[in-house]
């Protein structure tokens, strides 16, 4: 059984609250057949879903898994999905880089992106022959919305000859103007690789200013960035860490590199969502806090029941737009298809391919904690 000390109990539960009508309008019910075919799944989510809630969830899970077979579809589930989606209907699970690789290789006609819109675009860029669906077209991202392709064109005019590295949390238009993409798994590796390849000592790394400053802290490459932020990770503070250490002596604090630099300075370990998950699985700490999106702690906790999790809760409102209900609807009605102009797709693909051609991110240089933040040039739309 996962051990979770929830410092904000119930904050990620709205996606799990269901009414009987949610089943009725979809022609679903908790029949004997559904019960028999889903009982074994309950074990995987019993720490997050009560026995009372299960009859409202099992028919949706059963219906989605049947529709996947009928449509020859797979579901790519990001680490920030709620445990019901992540554990019970996700065929591939992970961070955005892992999901991008799966999208390129998966043998299916339909991909349902259980994540946000830029992730679905990335899947479509890499798998144009497949139908890519997103359950809610409004599932956006504060980072992706902070910058446009026109902004990148202006930046390139201002800094000719300087490579542009773009975080994957961007639209296809932005990727199309980019030299190479990166994720939080491989940002340091990509920056150092591209600087060496171009023979320059300066790289533009956009749009997350905190990720860029955290990369700048561990590399000699000069970084110029953009004034974009993840609305989830920017909320964590160094004071939060001091408070957690006082309230939970001995707790290990792991932080995502989209957090502000003073948070990484005070944390014990920093890395991408997959690096945080691997750290917990490989080292089995007694007690841990993950400073990242709320549902990620639940998903890592269910895979590591021997570890005690202290769980502050910052929700991504965009990720939480994805529910079992709208996944079912997307598969049933084959909606909402993500389409990209072919010229834009081909240009964006070059930047993603350049990233995917790099060696496995496990060999990349990690982020470090305990380093003093560095000031770097930060551009904004007015620049």
Q: Which residues bind ligand SF4 (CB under 6 A)?
A: 116, 141-143, 169, 230-232, 293, 316, 318-319
First to last CA, the chain: 52
List all residues 6 or more positions away from 200 whose beta carbon is below 8 Å from its beta carbon: 161, 162, 163
Q: Given the complex with ligand SF4, which of 193 and 256 has the nearer CB atom?
A: 256
Q: How far apart are CA 266 and CA 238, in angstroms?
A: 6
Find residue 167's DSSP bridge partners.
182
Q: Given the complex with ligand SF4, which of 38 and 186 has the nearer CB atom?
A: 186
Q: How far is the CB of 34 from ligand SF4 (least distance, A)?
A: 32
Q: Given the complex with ligand SF4, which of 142 and 323 has the nearer CB atom?
A: 142
Q: How far apart are CA 189 and CA 364, in angstroms?
A: 5
With 0-12 / 13-18 / 19 or more C-beta atoms within 10 angstroms meaning exposed / middle / buried, residue 360 is: exposed
Q: How far is the CB of 39 from ligand SF4 (least distance, A)?
A: 33
Q: How far is the CB of 293 from ligand SF4 (least distance, A)?
A: 5
Rg (alpha carbons) of the chain, rounded to whole number: 21
Q: Given the complex with ligand SF4, which of 231 and 337 has the nearer CB atom?
A: 231
- Number of residues assigned to the chain: 383
Whether residue 309 contacts residue 297, with contact meaning beta carbons closer than 8 Å, is answered with yes
Residue 115's alpha-carbon distances to 94, 298, 318, in angstroms, are 10, 16, 8
Q: How far is the CB of 234 from ligand SF4 (least distance, A)?
A: 9
DSSP assignment of 203-246, as one string? EEEESBHHHHHHHHTT-SSEEEEESB--TTGGG--HHHHHHHHH
Q: Given the complex with ligand SF4, which of 112 and 230 has the nearer CB atom?
A: 230
Q: How far apart are CA 116 and CA 113, in angstroms?
A: 7
List all residues 6 or more positions away from 267 whose beta carbon is below 8 Å from its beta carbon: 241, 253, 254, 255, 259, 291, 369
Q: Given the complex with ligand SF4, which of 96 and 189 has the nearer CB atom?
A: 96
Q: Given the complex with ligand SF4, which of 12 and 293 has the nearer CB atom?
A: 293
Q: How far is the CB of 365 from ligand SF4 (least distance, A)?
A: 22
Q: Given the complex with ligand SF4, which of 169 and 189 has the nearer CB atom?
A: 169
Q: Given the complex with ligand SF4, which of 195 and 254 has the nearer CB atom?
A: 254
Whether residue 58 contacts residue 75, with contact meaning beta carbons closer than 8 Å, is answered with no
Q: How far is the CB of 169 from ligand SF4 (least distance, A)?
A: 5
Q: How far is the CB of 261 from ligand SF4 (least distance, A)?
A: 17
The backbone region for 284, taken as left when phi is positive above 0, alpha when psi lies in -120 to 50, beta otherwise, is: left
Q: How far is the CB of 31 from ligand SF4 (least distance, A)?
A: 36
Q: How many other CB atoms are there within 10 angstroms of residue 362's CB atom?
A: 11
Q: How far is the CB of 41 from ligand SF4 (least distance, A)?
A: 27
């Amino acid at each position: 059984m996962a051990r979770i000390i929830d410092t904000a109990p119930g904050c990620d539960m709205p996606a799990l609250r269901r009414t009987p009508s949610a089943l009725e309008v979809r022609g679903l019910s908790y029949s004997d057949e559904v019960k028999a075919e889903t009982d074994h799944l309950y074990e995987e989510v019993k720490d997050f879903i009560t026995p009372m809630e299960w009859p409202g969830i099992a028919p949706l899970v059963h219906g989605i898994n049947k529709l996947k077979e009928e449509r020859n579809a797979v579901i790519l589930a990001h680490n920030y999905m709620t445990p019901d989606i992540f554990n019970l209907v996700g065929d591939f699970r992970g961070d955005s880089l892992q999901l991008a690789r799966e999208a390129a290789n998966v043998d299916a006609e339909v991909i349902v992106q259980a994540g946000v819109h830029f992730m679905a675009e990335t899947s479509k860029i890499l798998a144009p022959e497949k139908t890519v669906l997103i359950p809610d077209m409004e599932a956006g991202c504060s980072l992706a919305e902070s910058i446009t392709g026109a902004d990148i064109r202006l930046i390139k005019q201002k800094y000719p000859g300087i490579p542009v590295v773009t975080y994957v949390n961007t639209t296809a238009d932005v990727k199309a103007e980019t030299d190479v993409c990166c994720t939080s798994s491989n940002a340091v590796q990509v920056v150092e690789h591209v600087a060496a390849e171009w023979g320059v000592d300066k790289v533009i790394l956009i749009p997350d200013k905190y990720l860029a400053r955290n990369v700048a802290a561990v590399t000699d490459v000069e970084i110029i960035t953009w004034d974009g932020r993840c609305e989830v990770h920017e909320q964590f503070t160094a004071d939060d860490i001091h408070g957690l250490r006082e309230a939970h002596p001995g707790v290990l604090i792991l932080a995502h590199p989209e957090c502000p630099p003073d948070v990484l300075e005070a944390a014990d370990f920093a890395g991408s969502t997959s690096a945080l998950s691997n750290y917990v699985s490989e080292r089995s700490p007694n007690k841990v806090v993950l400073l990242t999106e709320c549902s990620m702690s639940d998903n890592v906790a269910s895979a590591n029941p021997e570890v005690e999790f202290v769980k502050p809760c910052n929700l991504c409102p965009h990720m939480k737009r994805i529910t079992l209900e709208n996944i079912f609807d997307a598969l049933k009605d084959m909606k909402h298809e993500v389409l990209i102009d072919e010229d834009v797709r081909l240009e964006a693909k070059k930047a993603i391919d350049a990233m995917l051609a790099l060696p496995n991110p496990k060999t990349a240089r990690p982020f470090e904690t305990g380093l003093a933040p560095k000031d770097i040039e930060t551009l904004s739309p007015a620049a």
